[in-house]
Amino acid sequence: MRLFTALWPSPEAVEHLAAAIDGLPPGRVTEVSAGLRKFRFTPAERWHLTLRFHGDDADAARVTERLDRRVARLRADPPRLRLAGAGSFRGVLWVGVLPEAGPDERALRELVGAAGGDPRSFRAHLTVARWAGGRARGESVAALLEGYRGPRWTAEEITVVASDLREGAPRYTAVHRAPVTRG
């Protein structure tokens, strides 16, 4: 089963970012995405912060047992996060996920470790658009949202998610939820 472990932003954070994207001038989106094949924004219901991709053949029972053990040993309070800024890498426009303060940064890194990820190489982001290839002309596509700053939210649960790619666009199903509380 194709699994990943993720944090989902609060409904308020999602609504705020969705409103910002909906408010982008269509001409500006067309201008900065010119030359990119199949540029499209991802649906808000799929916006998540991947902490660890477990692979196509992951064992859901093993992943959830390990996650529960590790989450039970967390030392930090749940992190306070904010969606802010933007960037891009090959085929992806992302919005950054920023911890509010130093303790929140440590708590987020702890969650990455609990999910089985590498906290040192982790770069917190949320994918908001994709494209199939090509090169943008002129201004970077990241300029669309580089000044974005959303409301603060607290990561209250960590979710193991199954991803089904058979019908074109990915379909996500929560396999397991673990509350993020101080151990």
Catalytic residue ranges: 48, 125
**Of how many residues is the chain composed?**
183
- Per-residue burial over 85-113, b if 16 or more Cβ lie within 10 Å, else e, is bbbbeebebbbbbbbeeeebbbbbbbbbb
Which residue, 46, 50, 144, is CA-closest to 88? 144
CA distance 35 to 76: 45
Return the sign of the alpha-carbon dihedral for residues 49, 51, 57, 58. Answer: negative
